[in-house]
Structure formats: structure tokens, C-alpha cells
Amino acid sequence: MKALLNKEFKLCLHPTVFIYLGLVLMLLIPSYPYLVACFFLCNAIFFTFQTSRENSDAMYTAMLPVSKAQAVKAKCLFAVIVQIIDLALMAGVMALGNLFLNPLNPGGTDRSISFFAFAIILYAIFNLIFFTSFYKTGYKAGSSFLKGAIGVWIWIMVVEGLMIASHAVLESGNTEIPFFRFLHEYVDIWPATNGAWMVQMILLVAGIAIYVLFTVLAVRISIRRFEKVDIT
């Protein structure tokens, strides 16, 4: 597995991975829907899978003394490592941004622990849809990415839309809607109270659990599907 993972990083990694990792700096843009920054890394993973297909990586890997299951695990693990690096960079940028800038963001999610949880779930959704669709054939990267992108953008619009709505409702002076008050006081804010810390840590743990569950499920389904694909 170590050798296969080494192959992924040395032979398959697309240069856009480095470019899109740098887009974590978008978290410093005022009044911006920050979850959009996560979508760009999904693009980089797509480009890596597409480039691997164009370079006949599946055929090359088939000539190595490894199983199809190992090949799938290595490529999925590569994507997971890139996502974890992106999340780590986002955590650093969030801390830096909140140190020097206003953490409140009327244009969407604030730079908070909740945002981190939402970003983790975004990657979980992408992994489940993209991996399982791609390995159904082993070569349809474009249509698989389109499916994954639709799932990701639905999640972005729901989350960012709710946070924008909570800001707008409370700024209008209407504080009688419990749901939006809860979002504003406990979810979409840098936690300053014990209640907000508890809610956001629960969201973070739930996000991590969803990521692990969806990704493991995606790998298992992908292996089962790829075993049936004739790559000769």
C-alpha cells in the first residue's frame, strides 16, 4: 500500500492540487460563502483522477503485483490525505483570520468550528458520490464529478443559505424565530459561550463520524464495483 500511495503522489498528482490548496486563503475574504473554497479541492481530485485515466494508470497498476482492491484503496486514500491537508490549512487560516479580522460573516458561514464541521461533511458527500460513480466503470471521471458536484452544491446552498438567512432575519429586528436565533447564537458564530462550544463540538464530532462512515462506505462500494470492471 505504501508503494501504491507513493505512486499516486509521484505519478498521478495533478498540479492543480497545490493551486487549490492555496485557495484556503479565500476564508479571509469578507462576506463570502466560505464553503465554496472546499469545492475547488474537489476539482483538483477530479483532475487527478482524469489525468490518471488519460495516462492509462489503471492498466499500468493492473500490471503490478497488486489487487484491484488495493488500487482503489490507494487512490481513495490519496484523496483523503489531500482533503485532510486542506482541512488542516483551513484551520490555520481560520485561526489567523479570527485573530486579525471580524469572525462574523453576513455573506454565509462564519469562520467557526461549525464551518469546519460543514466542510468535513462536504468532503464526505463528494467522496461517497464521486468514488462510487467513478469505479462503476473506472474511466467516467467527468460524469462522476458532475454527480459529486451536484451533491456538493446542494449542501453548499443549504448551509450557506441558512446562515445568510439567519443574519438577515436578526438584522431585520425579528428575533422571534427560534430556529434562526439558535443558528445565530450557537451555530453560526465563533463560540464565546459554553452552550455554543457544546453545540459546535457536537457538530464537529458528527461531521467527523459522517466523513469516516461515508468514505469507508464509498471505498467498499467502489472496490465491489471495480472488481467487475474489465480494464484490459
pLDDT of amino acid 39: 94
pLDDT of amino acid 13: 84
C-beta of residue 128 within 8 angstroms of C-beta of residue 215? yes
pLDDT of amino acid 174: 63
pLDDT of amino acid 5: 73
Between CA 65 and CA 126 the distance in angstroms is 30
pLDDT of amino acid 53: 79
Between CA 9 and CA 31 the distance in angstroms is 35
Between CA 113 and CA 197 the distance in angstroms is 9
Map out the domains of the chain as residue ranges. Answer: 2-226
Q: Which tens digits make up the pLDDT trace of 180-208?
A: 888 888 888 887 788 889 999 999 999 99
Low-confidence ranges of the chain (pLDDT < 70): 172-176, 232
What is the separation, in whole angstroms, between the first and last Cα of the chain? 22
Exposure string of 168-177, with b = 16+ CB inside 10 Å and e = fewer, is ebbeeeeeee
Cell 461531521 appears where?
A: 207
